[in-house]
Amino acid sequence: MLRRNWSCYRFKLRPKLVHSSSTVSSKILFKVAVLTYKIRSTSCPAYLHSLLSNGISESTATLRSALQPLLHVPRTRTVYDNRAFSVATPTLWNSLLADITNTISLTVFRNRLKTFLFHQTLSGCPAD
């Protein structure tokens, strides 16, 4: 009897480390970032590639930001417009570290992105 109670405590009453809403949003961010990587590396599908443009400025000065593969984030007027693919995707991509976005293969990109999102999710949770 005592052993059965201990297993119940061990498996069912453990506190959750990560809230479900943060894991869902992390999964969405992961899928959007992977889709963006695929669009940038293969230029397919064309209808999504046309929504993303590089953030290359027209100035002749050489800036440090020119070395990073940033995307142009179009201006919006409302919060609702920020949810559009053409706005949300460049915002997410530009928030990633250069070490993640400059990878050569999709598998390395996915591994680094998962690690980044995992650390980002855990840093928002209170420590026990």
pLDDT tens, position by position, 9-54:
444 444 455 555 677 888 999 999 999 999 988 877 888 888 887 6
Whether residue 26 lies inside any domain: the answer is yes
Residue 92 lies in a domain: yes
Whether residue 1 lies inside any domain: the answer is no
Residue 98 inside a domain? The answer is yes
Q: Is the pTM here over 0.85, yes or no?
A: no
- Is residue 116, in this structure, part of any structural domain at all? yes
Structurally, the chain folds into a number of domains equal to 1
Domain holding 93, by residue range, is: 21-53+68-123
Answer whether residue 6 is part of any domain.
no
Question: CB pairs under 8 A, 24+ apart, for 67-70?
Answer: 68/98, 68/101, 69/40, 69/98, 69/101, 69/102, 70/94
Give domain status of residue 2, yes or no: no
